[in-house]
Chain A
């Protein structure tokens, strides 16, 4: 499902990510921990085909990146720091646009808006909604096309406990999807993880099955 070997990515002279090697099977969840600037978002963007790797090999859903990126587009769901939605459009208009790009039927838009409980405000411009609501719409966008691999950057940011419960079937373990999650929450992240990757300054410092990792080890990454 996911196989990285010596993945590296630079921005100018600075190496944002280096020496990352791991594999992940279908249905597993990889949780990536690390302080700000550790390379978590860069890793997600490489896996999402939005950044090219500068060294190493990257295989996602059986396709080699960047050469076969076309083969995985439409099978990835990315939830980043930005919602990837237009502020002036309503949730319904945003998702209808995404549905047309992804080639999914229009009825799916109503389904996911219902699933994140935004239906009643689906026709208001996005800029009128709270950050938590925008995050729910962004989650709806990420799963609209039923992706095989979910790439989630702090997916529960801005969500209240009720909203976290609401989106759990879409992006949580119960979704059955293979997931890569960036998190700053040792307790919550470990509970989600099958495999844990700890990054510091772009280098992997911890890579282990989640059951063999303590939350103390994760907190150590941030010191």
Chain B
């Protein structure tokens, strides 16, 4: 069938049209997406409350299941990090759901913006969720399970939390973007994320254990902090390189 159609010109006088629209700056787009994400979370309260309640429930369960008055060192660090990582899965699973279900991806893809802005904004969103979670979960862990006072461990713990959270945010965002377009996203997200979180839980637990020692608390070993930092950097680069392709058809 021929594509040439003898049709009249457009009925309304067309206004002069613009050329290519200038692209909106990367950080301006990041700020726009991040603000929207936080607004949606404030309106729905879907992710952070669920992550927090999960953590608190898990600490209570450990408190009774271990049948001991307190934990410290390796055991304390293990309980803290396993709980935080499982709680983070709840946030990872919800990260792109509104975009996938309500057309947010399409609206974003139609705009003259860099795709990587969405990755950065989503990773920052997850980072904010994790920070909010830890503000509640870490003191609760100290009250319910920790034998020693938390205050002396805080500077080292905040550094470790920051490095581990960065890795969780980067990997979680990548995995969530991969899983969200599949029909089994609720299953695929955790299945992909948990193996990738293993180095984080190793590094973070090893770094945290000396901080939580009841007898000789000490600063985390530099090699575990460096391990976390390198893992963050590695996955940051991988995610930055891959993310655009995940959004494309």
Asked if A220 CB lies within 8 Å of chain B CBs, one says: no
Interface residues of B in 1-24 (CB under 8 A from A): 1-15, 17-18, 20-24
CB atoms of A98 and B107 under 8 A apart: yes
Query: Known contacts being A26-B14, A27-B12, is A207 close to B102, with CB within 8 Å?
Result: no
Interface residues of B in 93-110 (CB under 8 A from A): 98, 102-104, 106-110
CB atoms of B109 and A88 under 8 A apart: no
CB atoms of A101 and B111 under 8 A apart: yes
- Closest chain-A Cβ to B158's Cβ sits at a distance in Å of 32
Query: Known contacts being A100-B24, A103-B22, A195-B7, is A50 close to B39, with CB within 8 Å?
Result: no
Asked if B40 CB lies within 8 Å of chain A CBs, one says: yes
Docked complex Cα distance between A175 and B5 (Å):
22
Interface residues of A in 28-61 (CB under 8 A from B): 28-29, 48-52, 61
Asked if B113 CB lies within 8 Å of chain A CBs, one says: yes
Asked if A131 CB lies within 8 Å of chain B CBs, one says: no
Q: Select which of B6, B10, B108, B248 is within 8 A of A101 by beta carbon.
A: B108
Residues of B within 8 A of A211 (CB): 7-8
Q: Is the interface of B mostly helix, strand, loop or mixed?
A: loop
Asked if B112 CB lies within 8 Å of chain A CBs, one says: yes
CB atoms of B107 and A141 under 8 A apart: yes
CB atoms of B40 and A27 under 8 A apart: no
Q: Select which of A70, A86, A148, A209 is within 8 A of B17 by beta carbon.
A: A148
Residues of A within 8 A of B14 (CB): 26-27, 176-178
Question: Interface size on A (CB < 8 Å)?
Answer: 61
- Closest chain-B Cβ to A204's Cβ sits at a distance in Å of 5
Residues of B within 8 A of A72 (CB): 20
Docked complex Cα distance between A50 and B8 (Å):
30
Residues of A within 8 A of B116 (CB): none
CB atoms of A102 and B3 under 8 A apart: no
Q: Select which of B5, B10, B23 is within 8 A of A27 by beta carbon.
A: B10
Docked complex Cα distance between A89 and B28 (Å):
20
Residues of A within 8 A of B12 (CB): 27, 173-176
Asked if A4 CB lies within 8 Å of chain B CBs, one says: yes
CB atoms of A86 and B110 under 8 A apart: no
Query: Known contacts being A21-B2, A88-B40, A207-B3, is A194 close to B8, with CB within 8 Å?
Result: yes
Asked if B44 CB lies within 8 Å of chain A CBs, one says: yes
- By CB atoms of chain B within 10 A, which of A25, A52, A85, A103 has the most? A103
CB atoms of B3 and A22 under 8 A apart: yes
Task: Show 7 A/B contacts (Cβ-Cβ < 8 Å), sorted by A.
Answer: A23-B5, A26-B17, A73-B109, A74-B21, A98-B107, A100-B31, A209-B5
| Residue positions of A touching B, CB distance < 8 A | 3-5, 19, 21-23, 25-29, 48-52, 61, 70-76, 78, 80, 82-89, 93, 97-98, 100-103, 125, 141, 145, 148, 173-178, 194-195, 204-205, 207-211
